[in-house]
């Protein structure tokens, strides 16, 4: 289960320029067809989701565990046509939540907030298209990169 505390979504939205910059670099590092279905795992206030929506005419599914972030994301993305927003714990995602497979699962500065990396990566694996699916993650936090690497190996 994800660490549970509530975020100040308005402040977060104002101070996350660096997170959007990091995400944009990762997003632009891959060539796309422009029709991908993307999971934004840990969408926060929706700033990065908006960037993802611009690189595809497919759907972007934005997911966050925090109800304040979901409200802010809905406000920030209310005019965006190709996005669906869901509140969910990333360790609870499964085919019942999303009965589709994703071309891209994207996560930016989120996984270090989650204790059970194995369960999240396992969920991502089940939701990602088997052939040609991309897992694009950027994570920080002291000691967590080694945890992610050990899960992926």
The mean per-residue pLDDT over the stretch 116-120 comes to 88
Kindly list the domain boundaries of the chain, sorted by start residue.
33-152
The model's pTM is: 0.83
Q: Which of 56-65, 68-77, 99-108, 135-144 has the lowest mean pLDDT?
A: 135-144
**CA atoms of 83 and 79, how far apart (whole Å):** 9
**Cross-sheet strand order for the sheet of 104-108:** 83-87, 60-64, 38-41, 104-108, 134-138
**CA atoms of 145 and 66, how far apart (whole Å):** 23
Higher-confidence position of 5 and 96: 96
Residue 143, both tokens: 């000691």
Question: Which pLDDT value is given to residue 146?
Answer: 65
Question: Which pLDDT value is given to residue 91?
Answer: 92
Residue 44, both tokens: 């926060």
Q: Residue 2 pLDDT > 80, yes or no?
A: no
Q: Which fold has domain 33-152?
A: Rossmann fold (3.40.50)
Question: Which pLDDT value is given to residue 1?
Answer: 42
Q: What are the φ/ψ torsions at residue 31 (nearest 5 degrees)? A: -85, 145
| Per-residue pLDDT reduced to its tens digit, 37-49 | 999 999 989 999 9
């Amino acid at each position: 289960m994800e660490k549970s505390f509530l975020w100040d979504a308005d402040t977060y939205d104002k101070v996350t320029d660096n997170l959007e910059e990091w995400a944009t670099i990762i997003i632009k590092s891959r060539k796309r067809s422009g029709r991908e279905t993307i999971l934004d795992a840990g969408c926060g206030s929706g700033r990065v989701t908006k960037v993802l929506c611009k690189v595809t005419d497919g759907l972007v599914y934005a997911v966050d565990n925090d109800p304040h972030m979901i409200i802010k994301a809905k406000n920030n993305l209310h005019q965006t046509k190709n996005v669906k927003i869901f509140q969910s714990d990333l360790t609870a995602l499964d085919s019942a939540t999303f009965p589709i497979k994703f071309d891209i699962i994207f996560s930016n500065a989120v996984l270090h907030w989650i204790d059970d990396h194995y369960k999240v990566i396992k969920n991502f694996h089940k939701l990602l298209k088997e052939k040609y699916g991309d897992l694009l993650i950027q994570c920080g936090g002291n000691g967590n990169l080694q945890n992610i690497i050990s899960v992926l190996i």
